[in-house]
Amino acid sequence: MLQEIDYPISVQFDFESGTFDPVKVRTDRCVSDLALMFADKKVVQEIINNGDRLVYEIWYHPFETSKSDMALGVTRILPGKVGAEYHMTKGHIHERDDQPEIYFCIQGEGYLLLQTLDGDFRAERWTPGTISHIPPMWAHRVVNTGNKMLIFVASYHLSAGHDYQPIEEKGFKKLVVETDGKVAFIDNPHW
Amino acid sequence: MLQEIDYPISVQFDFESGTFDPVKVRTDRCVSDLALMFADKKVVQEIINNGDRLVYEIWYHPFETSKSDMALGVTRILPGKVGAEYHMTKGHIHERDDQPEIYFCIQGEGYLLLQTLDGDFRAERWTPGTISHIPPMWAHRVVNTGNKMLIFVASYHLSAGHDYQPIEEKGFKKLVVETDGKVAFIDNPHW
């Protein structure tokens, strides 16, 4: 017998703004939420002291039914830097080791960083239309290196879970920074 | 130990053409492949006798890893009709009863038809940007009622399986046809 949650749902996504309607949950991530991630702690503290600042938003719709838990997430990363480091997502790895994810870059430009617990590292260049598969067991973070909003759509399962701890502790092997007006990958001193 | 299939993959999607590169598999569906689905069997036979005709293409990339099987599919439905009935996909239901799917309309306009085995029927109106969640246990078909290509991106798991048989036997409850230059839903006489 079908329950109410087992019926089809549609939302309307706007390609320009990267928003959709109706939205179930919206989460804001400010510089203070990424205090452990950005390398320049002095600049982080200054921004927080000056009232903090939005880095990105996640809009999502958990399409939970009585038998499944596929979810839609849209992330909007504002352009900008904290010190020399470009705006980015916190980065996480799935708790379950059999759960992948698909990311679809709609607008903007940047990089998808991927890393295993053993330290295998990859950076996928993103432009509008890049679709990336994040295999299980790879931590992932998106970095906005452009001068406009970076918007991407994610599809995953809620049961995958989000583990932020490995990234909070050591971060990714590379920091993505602006050097002489260009994008550069530099070694993360904590690795 | 990671195998070669456990590494990240990206493809580049083109929003205008609805194609992506690299593509792993491409499948063409012609009128002859939908001979059981279109209602006007006389017109179907005429088209086949005249050399058949493409109705839609599926481009897909099965992102299989040693622990997961998420897949990306892009469907491009050409504008057109077979008799009064608009071009559409064959329609299927997942073999597994716990497997949903997300569809994302990129371009074009039409309807996503959904139906349970008990005959509960829904039609979701699609325009560019509509994202629909197809819950488990709902057969699904997309109909192109516009005058240009309808393009949508799908995300699902290969283990979901595709069962075409319930739709081959009886079809959906409604046919989507052009009547007096307008889109109309009429009862399927086989239901």
Do B11 and B23 touch, CB atoms closer than 8 A?
yes
ipTM of the complex: 0.96
pTM: 0.96
Tens digit of each residue's pLDDT (9 = 90 or more) over A30-88: 999 999 999 999 999 999 999 999 999 999 999 999 999 999 999 999 999 999 999 99
Predicted confidence at residue A168, as pLDDT, reads: 87
Q: How far apart are CA B106 and CA B76, in angstroms?
A: 10
* Token couple for B135: 């819950």
Contact residues, chain B, for A61 at CB < 8 Å: 133
Contact residues, chain A, for B67 at CB < 8 Å: 97-98, 136-137
Do A128 and A105 touch, CB atoms closer than 8 A?
yes
Integer-rounded Cα Rg, in Å, for chain B is 17
> pLDDT category, A191, cuts 50, 70, 90?
confident
- In sequence order, what are the residues at sequence separation of 6 or more whose Cβ sits closer than 8 angstroms to the Cβ of residue B140? B91, B92, B93, B101, B103, B112, B113, B114, B134
**Phi and psi, residue A171, nearest 5°:** 75, -165
Option in A11, A67, A133 nearest B97 (CB): A67
| Residue numbers in chain B where pLDDT is lower than 70 | none
Predicted confidence at residue A1, as pLDDT, reads: 79
Option in A9, A114, A136 nearest B133 (CB): A9
CA-to-CA dists, residue A31 to A36, A169, B51, B146, angstroms: 9, 17, 62, 45
Predicted confidence at residue B168, as pLDDT, reads: 87
Does the beta-carbon distance from A102 to B155 stay under 8 Å? yes
CA-to-CA dists, residue B4 to A115, B65, B104, angstroms: 15, 9, 29
